[in-house]
Structure 1
Amino acid sequence: MIRPHDLLRLNWPVTPATAPRWVVLALCRTPWVVARRALAAEGRVAVGVRGPHRAQRFALDVPLDAVAAVLPPEALTARAHTLRAELPAVRALHAVRPRLDRTGLRWGPGGSVGFELATGLPAITRDSDLDIVLRVEHPPPLAELAAVQASLQDLSVRVDCQLDAPWGAVALAELLSGADRVLLRTPNGPRLVWTETLT
């Protein structure tokens, strides 16, 4: 099952005629896209194309049979040694890896770090954050999540950790903030939900 944040390698061009030229060039450079949290028609999957610049993101749907390979974030950590070690986000990834591995939770990098791990193309900059995806079926106890959050606090870059479940995703920091309601990202769009329904 394809889930949001999974990296998908396409086996043929799927760009619509209305796509900007940079989208065509990006997919010629590397045929990888990122699965989005959005609804798609039967037999299709919602994806996003990453361009070389931060503002270059393009959403589209592609046929499932155009997907040649799927790399979930949790499959990418084994490739961490291939990254440019001098970058702050990469140093942060190496620092958090043993900490998160000890939790027994399924996790992996998303964002620019995940994209570079999947494609081998430079995507991480000196200003990149480290995006972490925690894959769960049901939210773990809050004490366990609080320990995860604490382990991410002493790093030199901002770490955006997202709890990703089949029914939606929520920022870990927001879930632990003590707020009565949090923003849940769902395939139907973001909505505010009572925190107690997620814990």
Structure 2
Amino acid sequence: MTTAVPRRRRRADEPDEHPGRPRRVVGPVPAMDGRTPTAHDLLLLHCPSSLRRTVSGGEPLPAWARTLLRGNPWVTVRRAPAIAGLSPARVHCTRDGSATAESWIPVALHGPRPDQRAAGYAPRSAVALTLAPEQLPDRLEQLPEARRLGVPALAVLPEAAAVVESYNLSWGPIGAVGCELATGVPTTAPGSPLRLLLRSPLPFSRRDALLLRRRLHKLPVRVEAELETRHGAVSLAEYSTSPQVLTLHTPDGPELVGDPWFPRRLRSA
């Protein structure tokens, strides 16, 4: 069990060195609802300067990433193993001098251009807020009406919700739509697909998968859905076509398996 280290309270007359940035008041465990973030979760960092390309430091983030984080300190959890323990460099959060990085979360950062992609690690203590994909559909009403109705992938979200929920699946948008719902920043382009994460801890029949894929295909935007099992994710389109070998995306990399719910690795993908 991690014991929170008390920090000095800022006096009312003391200037804030980081105005406009979110504060972590009760620590990283409540910020994460007591769970470890998983792939596609969105993290709001109260200390974006603590993000690193590697846990040991090394190559700095590109200039575009540092600029983006200053105005929009959100990152996406990527599918890779978390790293426990402190960095050899003992990177501390500049916002909270008492915070220690007891574990490092693999994250990805996406810039406005397709070629602006960066992977790195965020210390657990720097997380101010965690949003899972399932929490994002309710945030659609917070977007301006012009975005909700004018961007196809956003406009079709309620219809997609009705389709998926008829199969009793817990779900949420990911990709550009998920980022826009979490941050409020316009990231969904007119031609963006609607990407969906479908939680399926128990086996989902191929017949239902085929019917679901056909219904989603009728929507006026391209829909890319993935089934998230306890062991990783598999494409709904691939699973529904009944191949003998499937690509299961796991934290340790893609694997070729016969059954994504009871995987027996055939070979690395």
Shorter-chain TM range is over 0.9
Q: State how far apart, in whole Å, the 1-side matches of 2:77 and 2:221 are.
A: 25
CA shift, 1:102, in A, is: 2.4
Confirm or deny: 8 A CA contact 2:231 2:260 kept in the other structure: no
Q: Describe the SS at the equivalent of 1:23.
A: helix
Q: Describe the SS at the equivalent of 1:19.
A: coil
Q: Does residue 48 in structure 1 map to residue 108 in structure 2?
A: yes
Determine which structure has the larger helix proportion and give its number: 1
- Name which of 26, 32, 36 aligns with 2:68: 26
Extract unaligned runs of 5+ from structure 2: 1-34, 53-58, 85-102, 264-269
Q: Does residue 174 in structure 1 map to residue 209 in structure 2?
A: no
Q: State how far apart, in whole Å, the 2-side matches of 1:145 and 1:135 are.
A: 13
Q: State how far apart, in whole Å, the 2-side matches of 1:55 and 1:196 are.
A: 31
12-21 or 159-168, which moves further after superposition?
A: 12-21
Extract unaligned runs of 5+ from structure 1: none
Give the share of equivalent positions with the same residue, in percent. 37
Q: State how far apart, in whole Å, the 2-side matches of 1:128 and 1:198 are.
A: 33
Q: State how far apart, in whole Å, the 1-side matches of 2:244 and 2:186 are.
A: 40
Determine which structure has the larger strand proportion and give its number: 1
> 1:15: which partner in 2?
51
Confirm or deny: 8 A CA contact 1:179 1:195 kept in the other structure: no
> 2:162: which partner in 1?
98
Confirm or deny: 8 A CA contact 2:76 2:107 kept in the other structure: yes
RMSD after superposition: 1.7
> 2:139: which partner in 1?
79
Confirm or deny: 8 A CA contact 1:80 1:94 kept in the other structure: no
For residue 237 of structure 2, what is the amino acid of its counterpart? A
State how many pairs are aligned.
199
Q: Describe the SS at the equivalent of 1:151.
A: helix
Q: Does residue 59 in structure 1 map to residue 119 in structure 2?
A: yes
For residue 44 of structure 2, what is the amino acid of its counterpart? R
CA shift, 1:197, in A, is: 6.0
Q: State how far apart, in whole Å, the 2-side matches of 1:197 and 1:98 are.
A: 25
Distance 1:21 1:175, change over 3 A: same
For residue 158 of structure 2, what is the amino acid of its counterpart? H
CA shift, 1:115, in A, is: 0.1
Give the number of the structure whose alpha-carbon radius of gyration is greater.
2
CA shift, 1:104, in A, is: 1.8
What TM-score, normalized by structure 2, do the two folds share? 0.70
Q: State how far apart, in whole Å, the 2-side matches of 1:123 and 1:198 are.
A: 36
What TM-score, normalized by structure 1, do the two folds share? 0.93
Q: Describe the SS at the equivalent of 1:89.
A: helix
Give runs of ≥4 in structure 1 deviating > 3 Å: 195-199
